Amino acid sequence: MIALHAAEIGIDGRSLIAPATATIEAGRFVAILGANGVGKTTLLRVLAGALRPLRGEVRIAGSDPATLAPLARAHRIALVTSDDAPVDGLSARDVVAAGRYPFHRWWEWTEDRDDTGAIERALAAVGMSGFSGRRFETLSSGERQRIWIALALAQGAPVLLLDEPTSHLDVRVAHEILALLRAQAEAGRTIVCAMHDLNDAATYADALMLLGDRSMLAFDVPERVFTEPLLERAYGIPMEIVRASSGAPRAFATGNASGGYPGP
Amino acid sequence: MNVPTRLAGLFAIALLALIASLLVGGSSVAPGDLLYALAHPHAGSDVVTILWQLRMPRVCIAAVVGAELAIAGALLQGLLRNPLVDSYLTGVSPGAAAAIALSVVAGIAAPALPAIGFVAGLGTAMLVAAFARRGAGLDAIRLILCGVSLSALFSAVVTLVLTRAGADYAAQILAWLAGSTAGRGWHDLFFTLPYAALGLAFALAAVPALNVLRLGETRATAVGVNVARTQWVILIAAALLAASAVAVSGSIGFVGLVVPHLARRVVGGDARSLLPASALLGAALCAIADAASRSIAAPAELPVGVLLAFVGVPTFLYLYLNMQKAAA
């Protein structure tokens, strides 16, 4: 379970999100939405314990992620960053095996049976079992993203944080990735995922956390977050909500930004 | 071929290089006599003296120095994720050179020079690290910039001393700068071995973290690597190894830069195999270079450092560029 208690999120003393309180139950899939620069990545870094909230408290399964020792933190929280540092000379499996780092002391250099099982399960969960021997740099963007997610799964942490895992991916691959995250949520993992595509978020997430106007504008089920005033306030552009044939709400921007970009 | 087989192959190459360099030298002795002397160290002949008193310490020193420099280079290249880095980046060699130059002019006796070089080399590395600190860890770019600028400063000190010192002093300083195992004995090696062993222990402790760091610092942090601590451990390991090498043999460049690249080509980038492979290749290369330095212009000696650069750099460039072409 993830809890924010009157947590103010910001960086270098500059506030991005006014004090907010929210609880994410275990096994839920929450999408963080909001304009560029609104603080989605910063919020993820706070949840990952890489940054402290300016004020208030953050708890992951009862403990403050910022004060956990690095290894203890890695056992509880896995983070898939959007950082695209080059990876040279590693196979896809080597990359996933990095997720087993927190399970070994520094003198334990060899992969044990638990590691092998976890790595193979993680590769299978992202549909990449046949790619384990492929060199990472020869994989497509979508395949790389699957491998990064497999690394996080091999880590075995109950909380999985992802920063825009579907950016730069085509429609089909994006849906496949979100579906596999959905499956992980069904299996009991807590998924918190920063995203840009509103309709993908509404399709796959249990709840949407909408950031904007230096605050958490909404944290609710997609049905209640998908209102024209809320989305217009968050993105500064006229929005229209329509219904898909399934009855699910879909949001579309309808024209030029009125009044310009609201600023972070 | 799998990685253990390749490592075994490198081990065989290193062993052959060591034996070959024992058989070569300024005085011509039949290989049969040398092999006999190798098996009978207490036989009390001239050949035994040549082999055990003159050649054996030098070959061992050359091999140890080569291994130390290669491991230090592999560690720093892995830590900074920069292939252009070598073990002297941390300022170890120029710092030691400046201290040695000043000590020679001050009239300090030659036996004390390795110790002075070691302390000064390690001190310079720590100075560079202090400048490169950012938060609890180290800033890679700042480390490289500080290393390069302090190296330039200390090289200037050496040049200044060389231009102001008399010819005798200058010859002694230059002999050290050129990098050489000539006239080095067991005691020079034994004095640095404990520090090199400590450096090696630090290096081994960092191996799992070094592997994960290949994914970048952000991702390494996410799987629980204490990046700041790992940076210090690796830097201290590399500085101890490089300072040990410099104290014994002076400035031998090229090994720390090039050997890790060759080793990576042979066994891949996994630190568990890259470090031993670098050590074996470095040892083989320096042992052969030492043998060549003794025999090419015998009875005169060529400095190992110069020889390595003259022969090694073109060879490396040729091999590397050809392999790049083959890979493309």
Residue pLDDT, tens place only, A87-106:
877 899 999 999 999 999 88
* Predicted pLDDT of residue A256: 61
Residue pLDDT, tens place only, A169-186:
899 999 999 999 999 999
To the nearest whole number, what is the mean pLDDT of chain B?
Answer: 84
Which residue in the set A48, A90, A106 is minimally distant from B269, CB to CB?
A: A90
Which residue in the set A75, A81, A101 is minimally distant from B208, CB to CB?
A: A101
pLDDT class of B253 with cuts at 50, 70, 90: confident
**pTM given for the model:** 0.87
Residue pLDDT, tens place only, A122-157:
999 999 999 989 999 899 989 999 999 999 999 999
Q: How many CB pairs under 8 A join A and B?
A: 70
User: Cβ of A94 under 8 Å from any chain B Cβ?
Assistant: yes
* Cβ distance of B209 and A106 shorter than 8 Å: yes
In this predicted structure, the answer to whether residue B24 has a pLDDT above a threshold of 70 is yes
* Cβ distance of B212 and A101 shorter than 8 Å: yes
* Predicted pLDDT of residue B258: 87
* Predicted pLDDT of residue A223: 92
* Predicted pLDDT of residue A200: 94
In this predicted structure, the answer to whether residue A81 has a pLDDT above a threshold of 60 is yes
Place of tokens 């020889």: B307
Residue pLDDT, tens place only, B102-148:
888 888 877 787 788 888 888 988 888 888 888 777 888 888 888 88
Contacts of B135 in chain A (CB under 8 A): none
Q: Is A36 exposed, middle or buried (0-12, 13-18, 19+ CB in 10 A)?
A: exposed
* Predicted pLDDT of residue A90: 87
In this predicted structure, the answer to whether residue B263 has a pLDDT above a threshold of 70 is yes
* Cβ distance of B218 and A81 shorter than 8 Å: yes
**Which pair of tokens denotes residue B73?**
């280079």
Contacts of A109 in chain B (CB under 8 A): 207-208, 272
Residue ranges per domain, chain B? 3-327
**Which pair of tokens denotes residue A240?**
């229209």
When pLDDT is averaged across residues B261-265 and rounded to a whole number, the result is 89
What value of ipTM does the predicted structure carry?
A: 0.87
Half-sphere exposure of B192 (CA within 13 A, CB side): 33
β-strands A190-194, A207-212: how paired?
unpaired
User: Cβ of A78 under 8 Å from any chain B Cβ?
Assistant: yes
* Predicted pLDDT of residue B142: 87
Give the chain B residue nearest A48 (alpha carbons): B222
Contacts of A50 in chain B (CB under 8 A): 221
Place of tokens 């470095």: B282
Q: Is B187 exposed, middle or buried (0-12, 13-18, 19+ CB in 10 A)?
A: exposed
When pLDDT is averaged across residues B314-326 and rounded to a whole number, the result is 72
When pLDDT is averaged across residues A105-124 and rounded to a whole number, the result is 91
In this predicted structure, the answer to whether residue A259 has a pLDDT above a threshold of 80 is no
Q: How far is A85 from chain B (nearest CA, A)?
A: 6
pLDDT class of A205 with cuts at 50, 70, 90: very high
* Cβ distance of A74 and B222 shorter than 8 Å: yes
Residue pLDDT, tens place only, B179-208:
776 667 788 788 889 889 999 999 999 999
In this predicted structure, the answer to whether residue A263 has a pLDDT above a threshold of 60 is no
Residue pLDDT, tens place only, A226-254:
999 999 999 999 999 999 888 888 999 88
β-strands A239-243, B133-134: how paired?
unpaired
To the nearest whole number, what is the mean pLDDT of chain A?
Answer: 91
Number of helices (H), then strands (E), belonging to chain B: the values are 16, 2
Contacts of B268 in chain A (CB under 8 A): 89
Q: How far is B206 from chain A (nearest CA, A)?
A: 7
> Measuring CA to CA, which residue among B95, B97, B74 is closest to residue B86?
B74
In this predicted structure, the answer to whether residue B27 has a pLDDT above a threshold of 70 is no
Q: How far is B117 from chain A (nearest CA, A)?
A: 32
* Predicted pLDDT of residue B89: 74
Contacts of A98 in chain B (CB under 8 A): 211-212, 215, 219-220, 223
User: Cβ of A83 under 8 Å from any chain B Cβ?
Assistant: yes
Highest mean pLDDT among A121-125, B28-32, B268-272, B317-321: A121-125
* Predicted pLDDT of residue B26: 63
- The chain B residues in contact with chain A (CB within 8 A) are 204-209, 211-212, 214-216, 218-226, 264, 268-270, 272
Pick B209 or A168 by higher pLDDT.
Answer: B209
Please give the angle made by the CA atoms of A83, A87 and A93, to the nearest 5 degrees.
Answer: 105
Contacts of A48 in chain B (CB under 8 A): 222
pLDDT class of B326 with cuts at 50, 70, 90: low
Q: Give helix B56-80 / helix B227-249 axis angle, nearest 10°.
A: 150
Half-sphere exposure of A131 (CA within 13 A, CB side): 24
pLDDT class of B165 with cuts at 50, 70, 90: confident
Which residue in the set A83, A104, A155 is minimally distant from B216, CB to CB?
A: A83
**Which pair of tokens denotes residue B52?**
């055990």
Task: Give the range among A48-57, B51-60, B217-226 with minimum mean pLDDT.
Answer: B51-60
Q: In the CATH hierarchy, which fold is given to the domain comprising B3-327?
A: ABC transporter involved in vitamin B12 uptake, BtuC (1.10.3470)
Contacts of A87 in chain B (CB under 8 A): 214-216
User: Cβ of A151 under 8 Å from any chain B Cβ?
Assistant: yes
* Predicted pLDDT of residue A262: 53
In this predicted structure, the answer to whether residue A264 has a pLDDT above a threshold of 70 is no
Q: In the CATH hierarchy, which fold is given to the domain comprising A2-253?
A: Rossmann fold (3.40.50)
